[in-house]
Chain A
Amino acid sequence: MLANQNTQDLDIKPFPIVIVGHVDHGKSTLVGRLLHETGSLPQGKVEEIKAISDARGATFEWSFVLDAFQIERDQGITVDTTRIWFKSKSRDYVFIDAPGHKEFLKNMVTGAASADAAVLVVDVIEGVSEQTRRHAYLLQLLGIERVAVVMNKMDGVNWNEERFNEVADEVRIYLDELGLVIQQIVPISARDGDNLIALSGKGPWYSGLPLVDVLDQLPRPSLPDDQALRLPIQDIYRQGDKRYIVGRIESGRLRIGDQLHFYPGDVSARVVSFEGWNETTPQITATSGQSVAITIDEELFIERGHIAVSNTETQPIRTHALKLRLFWLAERSLKAGETLKLRIGLAQHDVCVESIDRIIDVETLGDNTGDHVARNGIAEITVRSRSRLVVDLYSDNPTTGRGVLIEDYRIVGGVVVVEDAIISGRNLTPVTHSVSQGERAAANGHDGGVLWLTGLSGSGKSTLAIQLERQLFDLGWQVFTLDGDNLRTGLGNDLGFDLDSRTENIRRASEVAKLMSEAGVVVIATFITPMKSDREMARSIIGHNFHEVFVDAGLETCEKRDPKGLYAKARAGEIPEFTGISSPYQPPENADLVLDTAVNSVSKSLEELRFFARQVLPVGTRKLQRAS
């Protein structure tokens, strides 16, 4: 390595280090002093700090360098996190000063989450305290792996080696148990500047390096370039007839020509181009951390919150329930049964807190049980979502395995994904079938799949379904019509017609349709499914075998036909919330097939439908074969 390497010219990101620890253990003082010792403070800053200290009748306070707010200076505590740039002989740093007071844990998390390593400050006189432990626990939860520990205020114990060893052992045991790697434990006096830049000789028994040299040894975490591709979709832009999909690559790599698979839609397309402005050379690849705009070779329904992955790499978890590790930051306690918003990546879901599974005691690292998580508490919870969650385990892929809980206008907690609760939570172990779907398809001569017929009552869904069922059966197909009314007499006989019940009815129908299609059957499902969100749910449950068919006749025609006399009753006010009359029908925007049954005859529509079925369902059209 060159002796005088100028990192500025190498254009390397400054190394972000967070300074954490219990309130009053000397974090801000340490940073202020370090900056002074290395000549990093602007001209006149020392004089300014002296004047500010004098005005408050205080002795010289290094912490005033960082504690910029009047309230911080007046009360002598750090309220909010701050950053300051620092240069050692070998590299550039950003120091993130985090408040130690438990009142401001949310601000500590705000600062610490963007660090690559931490300095844990421990007051050797007081020893390890509650916030020392809580901060260490949070570091590990936030994904930080390495910690340099400074044992501060050594002047206060006359540089006593025994006291140092006593507290150091306590720190070591705790951090080991959390799995945090200790780079070094350095005895210092921040106020006097001992052992920061050079060893001052005050504790001759200390044979390690001064703090700055310890920091210089902290390794940079590796980039997630080699992990599976994860590209959460941030937005869709349109310019003229071009459609750009934009987002930031959270992990992995992306090249022109790559086949992408999009969740939760379960659709695939190929990358055609990267788009930019004022680019000198056309871009052909991108890696983690880059914000990209791409075009693809298919017109697919994709929106913000969806995620693109590679067909050939590890697939994310798709589930409706997750076990999460949580740090709770709101004033009030969290209880089971509450509904909150969960944002993971760019997808937002309404989730219900199904259970609070354990509460972690940061003092002992043991488990407590309880029915609520108090402010600043750490716990494991199970959440359930009606929409499909597409995530990774935090241990597999941190950026897509972590998120926040939101209530009203505020982030109230951070979460990391521990496991898929559908599989693990109820001790379920799905069996692997001995007959594969491919074998079933080969035997039947067609794939299993679901033709989901949506449309107003009277649009012709059942008429078409019953006739198609006959025709396909006569061709030797395994086929079955799953009808809304039929299902409600059995599986759904406990459900009413309010919005929630309707959604639950669709959920059950989707699960049944999915099972049957997995068994190799072609399911013709006839459900009004007026809400876009319910059709999305059906699509997400059934997956790539879902084919949406919009049977479109227009309200006027349907009302004229009125085969069951329902419109007349609805107009007379006898049926509340009747779709098309007193409750809305949201027409599909991207149906796989649209049948205009107002204009076309039944036989024409039937022919179109049969043609479509024979196009999408024969052997070999499966879009995605999951390796099992």
Chain B
Amino acid sequence: MNNLDALEAESIYILREAVNKLKRPAMLWSIGKDSNVMVWLAKKAFLGRLPFPAMHLDTGKEFPETYAFRDQYAKQWGLNLIADDCPGIDQIDPSLPPNSRFAARKTAGLKQAIERYGFDGIIAGIRRDEQATRAKERVFSPRGENGKWDFKDQPPEFWDQYNVDFAPETHLRIHPLLHWTESDIWRYIRRENIPVVPLYYARDGKRYRSLGEEGITFPIESSASNIDEILEELASTRISERSGRSMDHDSEDAFERLRAEGYM
């Protein structure tokens, strides 16, 4: 098996564990490249049909291209789409730094959905190589009340034996892409011919390397207008993937605080 086959097999195994063990899971579909790969893997795992809803935490601030993509592929892929509005900025802790506060709307939107639909597991497409606190995540990550992440005391997880049992009033986060890298994602998109939002490809010398909301996400200087060029760029760049995500950089612990409170 080559690397992409091994990554795919591992992710499918994780998704099947989640569906077997959870009563009511949902998949977070941010419409970004990683979550498209995740939907694709789920279609493979479950032979064409997702046995759970795909949830877009909508802040109303996505790029127009993102919304267009969502509406087209929710239909084309036969997704059971949930796209409720996240609570407004006025309902978010004002002591947070400005960009984090904006991002925290998604956390609030997620909590709202968990309450509204009774989800006991949230499947999210985070990766270890994206960000240093995500690197310390578990594949099956138990969340306490209010979705809090007790990162100081994570349960052991080894030999693909996941922590699938959890106390009432808590839920699980499942991370089927945790072991993938940014380059893996692009190579897989190329191999499988998975559609992505066109903003990832360079136009006028700029492209989005990581896709978030308008206003807190910025493009990088790039001439990579197709996947081969993106892969070449990644092989030589020393700029980190989330450099254009201002919410990560408000302060040294900005992202850790966001994640401890339940951000993805």
Contact = CB atoms under 8 A, between A and B. Distances in A.
B165 A406 contact: yes
A106 B183 CA distance: 30
A554 B31 CA distance: 55
A13 B47 contact: no
A8 interface: yes
A290 B8 CA distance: 9
A410 interface: yes
Nearest to B4: A11
Contacts of B2: 10-13
Which residue among B3, B49, B231 has the maximum number of chain A CB atoms within 10 Å of its CB?
A: B3
Given A235-B19, A244-B47, A290-B9, A110 B133 contact: no
A239 B161 contact: no
Contacts of B192: 278
A114 B158 contact: yes
Contact of A277 (B48, B136, B157): B48
Contacts of B183: 8
Contacts of B20: 234-235, 304
B80 interface: no
A411 B163 contact: yes
Interface in B23-47: 43-47
A69 B2 CA distance: 34
Interface in A113-137: 113-114
A65 B86 CA distance: 34
Contacts of B17: 234
Interface in B200-226: none
Interface string A76-103: 0001111111000000000000000000
Contacts of A404: 158-159, 161
B167 A291 contact: no
B75 interface: no
A130 B106 CA distance: 45
Given A277-B43, A291-B13, A43 B238 contact: yes
Which residue among B48, B161, B235 has the maximum number of chain A CB atoms within 10 Å of its CB?
A: B161
A40 B6 CA distance: 24
A10 B4 CA distance: 11
Interface in A343-386: 343
Contact of B12 (A66, A70, A83, A291): A291
Contacts of B167: 408-409
Contact of A411 (B10, B45, B152, B156): B156
B154 A343 contact: no
Interface residues of A, number: 62
A402 interface: yes
Contacts of A114: 158
Given A248-B13, A409-B167, A237 B156 contact: no
Nearest to A404: B161
Given A82-B136, A278-B43, A106 B155 contact: yes
B22 to A, nearest CB: 12
A206 to B, nearest CB: 32
A80 B136 contact: yes
A246 B45 CA distance: 9
Contacts of B8: 291
B132 A66 contact: yes
A155 interface: no
A71 B257 CA distance: 12
B252 A85 contact: no
Interface string A39-60: 1011100000000100100000
B256 A110 contact: no
Nearest to A112: B158
Interface in B57-107: none
A390 interface: no
A304 B46 CA distance: 16
A290 B256 contact: no
Which residue among B12, B43, B183, B256 has the maximum number of chain A CB atoms within 10 Å of its CB?
A: B12
B135 A83 contact: yes
B148 interface: no
Which residue among A11, A42, A223, A404 has the maximum number of chain B CB atoms within 10 Å of its CB?
A: A11
A79 B13 contact: no
B142 interface: yes
B52 interface: no
Contacts of A449: none
Interface string A268-291: 000000011110000000010111
Nearest to A403: B161
B6 A13 contact: yes
A453 to B, nearest CB: 34
A69 B252 CA distance: 10
Contact of B1 (A10, A290, A408): A290
A10 B192 CA distance: 17
B196 to A, nearest CB: 17
A13 B13 contact: no
A186 interface: no
A207 B20 CA distance: 55
A196 interface: no
Contact of B16 (A39, A52, A109, A291): A291
B157 A248 contact: no
A414 interface: yes
Contact of A79 (B10, B152, B240): B152
Contacts of B44: 276-278
A403 B135 CA distance: 25
Interface in B128-184: 128-129, 132-133, 135-136, 138, 142, 151-152, 154-159, 161, 163, 165-167, 181, 183
B157 A8 contact: no
Contacts of A55: 252
Contacts of B135: 66, 68, 82-84
B6 A69 contact: no
A273 to B, nearest CB: 12
Nearest to B161: A404
B136 A248 contact: no
Given A12-B3, A68-B256, A343 B161 contact: yes
Nearest to B191: A11
A329 interface: yes
Nearest to A108: B156
Contact of A287 (B1, B43, B252): B1
B38 to A, nearest CB: 14
Nearest to B47: A277
B181 A85 contact: yes
A349 B235 CA distance: 47
Contacts of A195: none
Given A13-B3, A80-B151, A42 B238 contact: yes
A227 to B, nearest CB: 15
A248 B156 contact: no
Nearest to A12: B3
Given A68-B136, A276-B47, A277-B48, A110 B9 contact: no
A277 B50 CA distance: 12
B47 A239 contact: yes
A456 interface: no
A474 B159 CA distance: 57
A319 interface: no
B47 A234 contact: no
B111 interface: no
Nearest to B42: A277
12 contacts: A11-B187, A14-B3, A42-B239, A42-B240, A68-B136, A82-B128, A223-B1, A278-B44, A291-B9, A403-B161, A409-B166, A410-B165
- A-B pairs, 3 with minimum CB distance: A68-B132, A113-B158, A106-B156
Given A85-B129, A234-B13, 12 more contacts: A8-B235, A10-B2, A11-B4, A42-B240, A70-B256, A82-B132, A82-B136, A84-B129, A84-B135, A107-B154, A113-B159, A244-B47
